[in-house]
Structure 1
């Protein structure tokens, strides 16, 4: 039986509106939450192999802000980029063009989670104009040089092998139930059995919604070859970093170091959670976000 979302009632009270727009020659699908005429607009960029569903629990808690949550190119419902590699530069160019296409340049606040934290940081370093930046579970150090460097290399070899094999075999490897479950078990930290089941279900439902093996490998190589520290010193806008003490991808010392590289940043570190703040602690994240933006409210829990 499919586990019910613990945030379903809140999301039902704040339903999404789906749209699409052509960006750099390809269709980007995006979802909007909150009032369409709100003065405050927040654009979200999700993590690697996910889609907009990953940040829905955060959206469910926020009221009074127009939130725009696209699927990254080649993930979810969005088409792959046309004429661009799916690397950090390609995704940064896409984000600039997406914000511009919606007429929000210089007005929209930007939030990136995990891989999205690298994308949005690179976009700002390239010149994307935003009043404030929010990074949730920021990738604060290179994956290949960190404590999980060997695991990152093994995963890279796995992706490379899956691309080299015949399509049916390679695709089956990448979307294999056991592979997805192992990843999910490594990330989830909550002891709540219902929440754990729901997080695993979310990963199984949305972790394999990618366009093709080539774009997936390009994005994975980008995710392990770049990090926020490469761009932080070029970012001058006020920045909120929301990290976690048990994050297996970004250790606390790396989070604290990247915090010092920004010209103007705040660092909040949650205890008893890892790389899934957006699933396990969305209400607390929403509270930090609305306080930092000085706009919106956090909805009361609904049964």
Structure 2
């Protein structure tokens, strides 16, 4: 599905990576600027529907190093701290100051939280979609997480050609889509399946994928939430396998200033299945805070 917003594409050399970044100017006067961080194995395409819903905002979406059109980093690990450092350098190059909002989905929620914990005041507001609130190997879906860990371990240990085929398997992608999509709408289910088929195999290599996966299951937003003073919005799915409503409520309580909005009938794919509902919560949250931020570069 083509986006109804045109983008300016820029390249940034950060920590050895050629980071590609898509900037979507607002439709009409800008209500503010949002820097959005995609989730594990995704790229900027995954946030397209949410970008389209936030037309009054200028939205900046990079492909994380090692995913999509961005090459891997040289010596910096592809983990929460490494990606948080990339966010800091990218924001500096784009001139995004403390009036900008930082948004993260899933693994991107960990990256965004780790960045703000390490750089207080660098962004004025924080929005987390499907935040990772519970340790993957200890929560209610530990069995599923352990199966995923075994899958990625096999992909790393098998001979390269075999491991690559396994990790990029369309069958595995389709199984994930069928399992995680909660909507019964055939068009929505077909869209999610197509998105995963198109973009979940766009990683640079097995080592990058392994590092990012390890971080995704060993780090949570809760580990750094108390250190984040920025007003924060959590948007969670009532059926999210990776974070129960109770876990999200406990996470919200860890922040100095956070509010939680739960969307019924959806799990971990809010950005695909319920982007309009998520955008409505984001819009209301941002409207209650500071004046619009502006890109200076």
The two structures have a TM-score, normalised by structure 2, of: 0.93
Mean Cα deviation higher: 23-32 or 70-79:
23-32
1:143 corresponding residue in structure 2? 136
Root mean square deviation, CA, Å: 1.5
Q: Equivalents in 1 of 2:54, 2:85: separation in Å? A: 28
* Secondary structure at the counterpart of residue 63 of structure 1: coil
1:131 aligns with 2:132: no
Paired with 1:272 and 1:55, the residues of 2 have a C-alpha distance of 20
Shift of 1:154: 2.1
Query: Is the CA contact (8 Å cut-off) linking 1:28 and 1:73 kept in structure 2?
Result: yes
**Deviating 4+ runs (over 4 angstroms):** none
Task: Note the 1:207-218 alignment, pairs <5 A.
Answer: 207-218=200-211
Secondary structure, counterpart of 1:50 in structure 2: coil
**Residue 263 (str. 1) matches residue 290 (str. 2):** no
Residues of 2 paired with 1:51 and 1:175: CA distance? 15
Aligned to 1:279: 272
The whole-number CA distance in structure 2 between the counterparts of 1:64 and 1:198 is 25
Q: Name stretches of at least 5 consecutive residues in structure 1 with no aligned partner.
A: 296-303
Q: Does 1:59 align with 2:51?
A: yes
* 1:42 and 2:16 matched: no
Establish whether residue 233 from structure 1 lines up as the match of residue 226 from structure 2: yes
Aligned partners of 2:129 and 2:106: how far apart in 1?
A: 6
TM-score by length of 1: 0.91
8 A Cα contact 1:24 1:97, kept in partner: no
Cα contact 1:23–1:101 (8 A) shared by 2: no
| 2:161 matches 1:161 | no
Query: Any idea what SS the aligned residue of 1:72 has?
Result: coil
Distance 1:272 1:228 in 2: 23
Give the secondary-structure state (helix, strand or coil) at the position aligned to 1:135.
strand
Give the Cα–Cα distance (whole angstroms) in 1 for the partners of residues 99 and 249 of structure 2. Answer: 29
Secondary structure in 2 matching 1:162: helix
For residues 125-182 of structure 1, the C-alpha deviation after alignment (integer angstroms, 9 at most, x for no partner) is 1015111000000011110111111221221122112111111100000011111111
Match of 1:19 in 2: 10
Question: Which residue of the partner structure matches residue 173 of structure 1?
Answer: 166
Match of 1:82 among 46, 58, 74: 74
Tell me which residue corresponds to 1:91: 83
Question: Counterparts of 2:16 and 2:108 in 1: how far apart (Å)?
Answer: 21
Provide the residue aligned with 1:30 in structure 2.
Answer: 21
1:214–1:33 Cα change, 3 Å: same
Moved more, 55-64 or 148-157: 148-157
Query: Structure 2: how far apart are the matches of 1:161 and 1:191?
Result: 32
The Cα offsets for residues 241-265 of structure 1, whole Å up to 9 and x where unpaired, read as: 0001100111111001001000001
